[in-house]
Chain A
Amino acid sequence: NAGVTQTPKFQVLKTGQSMTLQCAQDMNHNSMYWYRQDPGMGLRLIYYSASEGTTDKGEVPNGYNVSRLNKREFSLRLESAAPSQTSVYFCASSEWGADEQYFGPGTRLTVT
């Protein structure tokens, strides 16, 4: 069991470029989440998918889009990257919402 995997581990973008962060889980979990972590700000929810076929906005969705491709995969897209999106991005999954969330290893993104 790999758990939750994320690609890439590191990425540097120029302002205005686009990219997609990939996340996959092999635990047959229903719910998946994308967070960003900035120093002193904790973990802030960007988007989540309560179950396959649904997505909802979290606390900080502006500038991002998501796709729940299937039960295993949940991707996060930055259409036009901005320096304010420099952060560490974590994907997580849980069996259902109010359950232990398992986190991926994170993607460190720098936008210059």
Chain B
Amino acid sequence: GENVEQHPSTLSVQEGDSAVIKCTYSDSASNYFPWYKQELGKRPQLIIDIRSNVGEKKDQRIAVTLNKTAKHFSLHITETQPEDSAVYFCASNSGYALNFGKGTSLLVTP
């Protein structure tokens, strides 16, 4: 089935630095790529998504880039803050289903 690989599995940055998380996917028919944030003990929540007809999307400090040829997409968080500390999941669609990466635990230290 569809495979989504996510790197790194853990990431520690200082407050104010940027963080980048990368994902690759295998299904060339995938056309929807969301990113979810999950705080400890909470449910995953969508923070940004991108569709295959665009290469980049920004929302304040968060941006996502997509390279369909190479089948990879990335999450960029600028000016990180302690409240950005959480687990981040990328996903890509395969028909009606989403396939998730295994997550990146981001720690932002003051």
Contact = CB atoms under 8 A, between A and B. Distances in A.
Nearest to A49: B96
Given A42-B101, A59-B1, A97 B43 contact: no
B45 interface: yes
B100 A97 contact: no
Given A41-B102, A42-B89, A33 B43 contact: no
Nearest to A47: B97
Interface string A85-103: 0000010000011111101
Interface in A26-68: 31, 33, 40-45, 48, 50, 56, 58-59
Contacts of B89: 42-43
Q: Is the interface of A mostly helix, strand, loop or mixed?
A: loop
Interface residues of A, number: 24
Contact of A31 (B96, B100, B101): B96
Interface of B: 1, 6, 9, 31-32, 34, 43-46, 49, 51, 89, 93, 95-103
10 contacts: A33-B98, A42-B6, A42-B103, A43-B89, A45-B98, A96-B96, A97-B96, A98-B93, A98-B96, A99-B32
